[in-house]
Amino acid sequence: MFFLDLRNTGLNMAGIFMGLWLLPFGYLVYKSGLVYKSGYIPKILGVLLIIGGFGYMIDFFATFLFPDFDTTIFQYTWIGEFLAIIWLLWKAGKYPNEESG
């Protein structure tokens, strides 16, 4: 059980880095939706990524500060990441050509 608890703690510690990564990534996605008026990258995707980043960080700090507290925020942080992957796969190579008007 010691090693299972150690693994769980390690995965939780990795969550802080995932949250810190999603915050600037979500911000860039959100800002790119505002800068380019074509709406190539949806702004809601950036908002979901930022929410996911905060969710990872809340889950880390809640588990770190209150070890017996069971957080369920982590169950919903994957939504923005999953939609970003699906959107990138769907739009891969389909960028509109600006020369053709």
Q: How far is CA 99 from CA 4, 38, 39, 41, 95, in A?
A: 57, 14, 17, 19, 12
Give the model's pLDDT for residue 65: 86
Give the model's pLDDT for residue 23: 93
Query: Does the predicted model carry a pTM greater than 0.85?
Result: no
Structure tokens at 37: 């008026």
DSSP string across 35-81: H-TT--S-HHHHHHHHHHHHHHHHHHHHHHH-TT----GGGGTHHHH
Give the model's pLDDT for residue 76: 79
Per-residue pLDDT of the chain (101 residues; tens, 9 = 90+): 999 988 988 888 888 898 899 999 999 888 886 555 556 678 888 899 999 999 888 888 888 888 777 766 667 788 888 988 888 888 766 665 555 54
Nearest to 53 by CA among 32, 83, 73, 39: 73
